Amino acid sequence: MARYFDVHPDNPQVRSIRQVADLVREGGLIAYPTDSCFALGCRMGNRTGLERIREIRHLDDRHHFTLVCRDFAQLGQFVQVSNSMFRLVKASTPGSYTFILPATREVPRRLLHPKKRTVGVRIPEHAVVQALLAELGEPLVSTTLLLPGQEDPLTQGWEIVDRLDHQIDAVIDSGSCGTEPTTVVDLSQDEPEVLRRGAGDPARFEVE
């Protein structure tokens, strides 16, 4: 049965954030709000958590998981950002973007795209996630909470508990959050490629 944490959207309670972080460290899978929409998340080394996410969302091995990072310095530990892409990423973070970039050796192989050796990364602009990432001291492996056969992601904490009560370990509810997934931009090649149009404005990445 999933634990339910009702936290303040701007000043999340320290005790609740610590409890969630401990749960994640112990191998838990959580649903949490972001500046785009709710996401599923677990520790980077949590193999079982990753399989649980795949099962909930019916994902294959070509799905790009996302490392949700606290800041640009942390992001730089896990992906290689070329000089030509550096300014684009820096100017767009924090924000509702996911970037596909070549992974460093710090990223477990099971998180990588099997052919491209890339991984998704993002830095959310959301006080609750930032507090959790600061407490954890490491990224969350995440994916949008979009259930199989659904066009729109889940956006209400109570609905997530109702639908996934026995499949996840905790839900963080901070009231309303975004209702649209991130804009996904592939920066692993010479030119940016917008793979999904979402909450972030894709205009700055589109080459005319």
pLDDT digits (tens, 9 = 90+) for 55-66: 999 998 778 899
Give, in order, the Cα–Cα distances in Å from 165 to each of 20, 29, 140, 159, 178: 16, 11, 20, 9, 22
pLDDT value at 105 more than 90: yes
Integer Cα distance of 115 and 104 in angstroms: 15
Residue 110 in this model has a pLDDT that exceeds 60? yes
| Span of 35-44, 126-135, 151-160 with lowest mean pLDDT | 151-160
33 and 172 Cβ atoms separated by less than 8 Å: yes
User: Looking at residue 115, what is its pLDDT?
Assistant: 84
Q: Which pLDDT score is estimated for 60?
A: 85
Mean pLDDT of the chain: 93
- pLDDT at position 64: 84
| pTM across the whole model | 0.94
Amino acid of residue 70: R
């896990």: which residue's tokens? 78
Confidence (pLDDT) at 161: 92
**Cα–Cα distance for residue pair 161/141, rounded to 1 Å:** 20
d(CA 138, CA 11): 21
pLDDT at 92: 93
pLDDT at residue 129, rounded to an integer:
96
pLDDT of 119 reads 95
If one counts the domains in the chain, the total is 1
The domain that holds 89 is classified in CATH as: 3.90.870.10
Measured distance CA(91)–CA(93) in Å, rounded: 6
Residue 50, pLDDT above cutoff 80: yes
pLDDT in the model for residue 31 = 97
pLDDT of residue 62: 79
Domain that holds residue 103: 3-205
The whole-angstrom separation of Cα 93 and Cα 34 is 14
The token duo for 93 is 């973070």
Which residues are within 8 A (CB) of 105 and not within 5 positions of it... i.e. 6 or more apart? none
